[in-house]
Amino acid sequence: MDQAPCPSNQELTDHGLAPTGRGRLLLIACGALAREILDLIRLNGWDHIDLHCLPAKLHLHPDRIVTEVEKAVRRDRASYDRVFVVYADCGTGGQLQAKCADLGVEMIAGPHCYSFFEGNAAFAARAEDEMTAFYLTDFLVRQFDAFVWKPMGLDRHPELRDMLFGNYTKLVYQAQTDDPALLDKARACADRLGLAFEHRFTGYGDLARALEGQAAKT
């Protein structure tokens, strides 16, 4: 089964990725994870897995994530043997996990993608020492203006930087890929925010392990 080519970053932000309607396992995921999930599907030859990504911009409105995930599950589940939700809690305060339990579908573990990219256990072990860290993934480096700079009003009022980021000390770029251009852009993001920069190659972390487990079950 061939998944459609990955849309542009802006399309993933605004519209997500539609499922093909083929396969036995449907992944319902955030558009910010589309590239990584499609890479894992291709690398592992998981031709029984289909992907449906909701718009990444839902993260700007976490209260809408639960409703949109529920709609997607109810709409598409009859076409597949199983559904797996590739959202972490993502600011829903446990509501997404409760909804998935009600719907009878599993979801990936973790509070957010920064945690499962690094590995939930490793992220939790660092948490106390990184209370003042601001994280970016590959997707968020690409979409820094759309998800950080503009929503926080820094494009119009750069003086807000000290108020919004004054308590942060460093920007941690959790890199899923070895991309020199993204690394340069991540450094530039740290400079724009006035933060120290740390590059941490995480790869796909617990995302890969979770999908491997789901692929084996189906």
Q: pLDDT per residue over 102-123, tens digit each?
A: 999 999 999 999 999 999 999 9
User: Which residues on adjacent β-strands are paired with residue 54?
Assistant: 30
State the pairing for strand pair 170-175/133-136.
Answer: parallel
Q: What confidence score (pLDDT) does residue 49 get?
A: 98
Specify the number of domains making up the chain: 2
Structural domain of 17: 9-114+205-217
Answer yes or no: do 94 and 136 share one domain: no
Question: For the chain, give me the number of helices (H) and strands (E)?
Answer: 11, 7
Answer yes or no: do 70 and 15 share one domain: yes
Q: What confidence score (pLDDT) does residue 108 get?
A: 98
Summarize pLDDT for 150-187 with one digit per residue, the tens: 999 999 999 999 999 999 999 999 999 999 999 999 99
pLDDT interval class at 149 (50, 70, 90): very high
Q: What confidence score (pLDDT) does residue 6 get?
A: 83
Answer yes or no: do 32 and 73 share one domain: yes
Beta strands in the chain, from DSSP E residues, in sequence order: 25-30, 49-54, 82-86, 106-107, 133-136, 170-175, 196-201
Would the pTM count as exceeding 0.85?
A: yes
The tokens describing 157, both together, are 């009022």
Is 54 a domain residue?
yes
User: Which residues on adjacent β-strands are paired with residue 196?
Assistant: 170
Is 3 a domain residue?
no
- Residue 5 clears pLDDT 90, i.e. is over it: no
Answer yes or no: do 107 and 154 share one domain: no
**42/206 Cα distance (integer angstroms):** 17
**Measured CA distances, 63 to 60, 66, 120, 159 (Å):** 9, 7, 23, 29
Q: Coil, strand or helix: which one is 91?
A: coil
